[in-house]
Amino acid sequence: MGNRQEILLTGAGGQGLILASIVLAEAAVNDNKNVVQTQSYGPEARGGASMAGVIIDVDTIEYPKVANPTVLLCMNQASFNKFLPKVKPGCVVIVDSTFVTGPFQEEYKIQTYPITQTAKDELGREVVANMMALGVVNAATELVDRDIFRESIHKMAPKGSGELNQKAFDVGYRLYEHGSGQNFGFSAQTTE
């Protein structure tokens, strides 16, 4: 991927995407990159629309809002329906197949993973699906050095949950590396 990355993390309030964007921004800063993080959410604390943007660049960032996303994460169907039409074909689109059913257009690099279901099944906690999603996103895009990311997760996670959140991040990597998702529009790189 190029030097400048514009990432949109989208879903419903209560899925932890604002925290995920803050952790991503912190990790990028710790990886010696320039970063801007923005967020917006509906008036409801849970269930309303939630969107966070992170711009990562090695150069100066002159405009703070995500204008040309290179990465889109959709954690629910409503965010997929709303934000997919706003990105250009070729943008990496990662969706949580627990809640997103498509339609998946071939012109996008759409990758589907059962993120929330895996968090529930393997870790017993749906609440860490946000960190698992970050693992999938970072594995697919190499935005930030993995070890630096893990350190940032431990630092930024709510007290007492650092190890669980790091484990969720690692499970996200595993989902990506073992091709545990479906790909539309291209073949994802897999590692045995």
Which residue has tokens 């073992």? 178
Pairing of strands 5-12, 109-113: unpaired
Q: Does domain 5-184 have CATH number 3.40.920.10?
A: yes
Find the length of the chain: 192
User: What pLDDT shows up at residue 181?
Assistant: 65
User: What pLDDT shows up at residue 114?
Assistant: 96
- CB 173 within 8 Å of CB 146: yes
Q: Does the structure show a pLDDT above 70 at 164?
A: yes
Does this model's pTM top 0.85? My answer is: yes
Q: What is the dihedral of CA 55, 57, 61, 65, to 10 degrees?
A: -10
- Cα separation, 150 vs 26, in Å, equals 11
- Cα separation, 131 vs 138, in Å, equals 10
Going from N- to C-terminal start, the domains of the chain cover 5-184
pLDDT cut 90: percent of the chain above it: 72
Q: Tens digit of pLDDT for each residue in 172-182?
A: 999 999 876 67
